[in-house]
Structure 1
């Protein structure tokens, strides 16, 4: 069951990425640009991580609980930020609209459902959120450098040219705090959903 569910999630993520590539290719006319342009977005990088992780899981590779927790948190961030800050900012149609729905809505729902239902519990550590935060922090540095070089930022809330460095820093801090709180909540939920070993042993003895 876990491998089948992982395969379905991998298929959803790869499908969304492929549709996004095709839509960008139709716009740019360049395969290189169709690969490079989407890679400015945290959404695409996170869905790519989801696709690789769940493909490996579907093929029988062991995924560490910490890694799976970090991937789950990152894709949840994708969905929450999209719903709160990005939904409706750009009018989409055709393949771009379908890719938008898969990458921002479908995958960010499937992954946490998988984690709740099928991931081993009781194995996350309180220090894990600090490790998980390295991914969005690294992305922020990359996005700011790339945006400055290209003159176009991936997201409006990190657009230094329009908002100024102070506002972008504040936005980054608020998102980082939300990510940290969500990470701690995930660890707490992991502890709460941990099987009661003592109760299980007592039940086995009866």
Structure 2
């Protein structure tokens, strides 16, 4: 059951990422190298790719000592993709209206993949693998990502999300918004540890 779910979920995640890449290249407004860099500058894309790699690794017949099998890795990935979904639903959905295939892919990236990852986490994460001391480590990935987009945005002028667009809202508001996202990460992390303590 677990392996079959991993295969299906991996297919869904890879499909969404690959089709999104195709659509972005088809509708690009910058050079191909710049478009590729921009594509992988979205937390949504990086995290959905991480989810796809995770499910692919779990679909292998023998994988007890894999990188993703270590304590807390599934919980961390689930937190990341849930943040993708929540920020899209709460902040970004109302400012953009995709149509056609873009709408389908959009829902896969921001709604379907977060939900299926949460289901998988609920079914297969073991409470003995997660603890409070892991939360600071789970924050390293989003912290590095924020640093990257701020540095690259300063150099290139491209910011992937409006709430971190320093050019339009300034550094102060960007840092306030980033703090809000950090709080969301911590709250989700704490909530998931508590859930696993109960169930």
Question: After the TM superposition, which residues 47-66 of structure 1 pair with which residues of structure 2 at under 5 Å, given as runs?
Answer: 47-60=48-61, 61-62=63-64, 63-66=69-72
Tell me the distance in 2 between the aligned counterparts of 1:148 and 1:94: 33
> Which deviates further from its counterpart, 105-114 or 179-188?
179-188
Q: 1:160 to 1:129 in 2, by over 3 A?
A: same
Deviations 1:16-63 (A, max 9, x none): 011101101211397645533211110000001001111001113232
Determine if contact 1:21/1:34 at 8 Å carries over to the other structure. no
Matched residue, 1:95: 101
Take 1:119 and 1:8, find their aligned partners in 2: how far apart are those partners?
18
- TM-score between the two structures when normalised by the length of structure 2: 0.91
Q: 1:32 & 1:96 partners in 2: Cα distance? A: 22
Corresponding residue SS for 1:157: helix
Report the secondary structure of 2:94's partner residue.
coil
Which is higher, the Rg of structure 1 or of structure 2?
1
The answer to whether the 8 A contact 1:25-1:33 is kept is no
Tell me which residue corresponds to 2:91: 85
Distance in 1, matches of 2:178 and 2:187, equals 14
Match of 1:174 in 2: 180
Partner of 1:165: 171
Moved more, 105-114 or 24-33: 24-33
- Give the drift of 1:188: 1.4
Runs of 4+ in 1 over 4 A off after TM superposition: 29-34
Query: Which whole-Å CA distance do the structure 1 matches of 2:32 and 2:100 have between them?
Result: 19
Q: Unaligned stretches of 5+ in structure 2?
A: none
Comparing 83-92 and 40-49, the one that deviates more: 83-92
Q: Report what 1:148 is aligned to.
A: 154
Q: Which runs of 5+ in 1 are unaligned?
A: 194-206
- Could you tell me whether the CA contact under 8 Å between 1:49 and 1:71 is conserved in 2? yes
Q: 2:190 aligns with which of 169, 175, 184?
A: 184
Q: CA RMSD in A?
A: 1.6
Matched, 1:74 2:75: no
How many angstroms does 1:122 deviate by?
Answer: 2.7
Residue 28 of structure 2 corresponds to: 28
Match of 1:120 among 121, 126, 138: 126
Report the TM-score when normalising by structure 1: 0.88
Contact 1:41 1:154 in 2 (8 A): yes
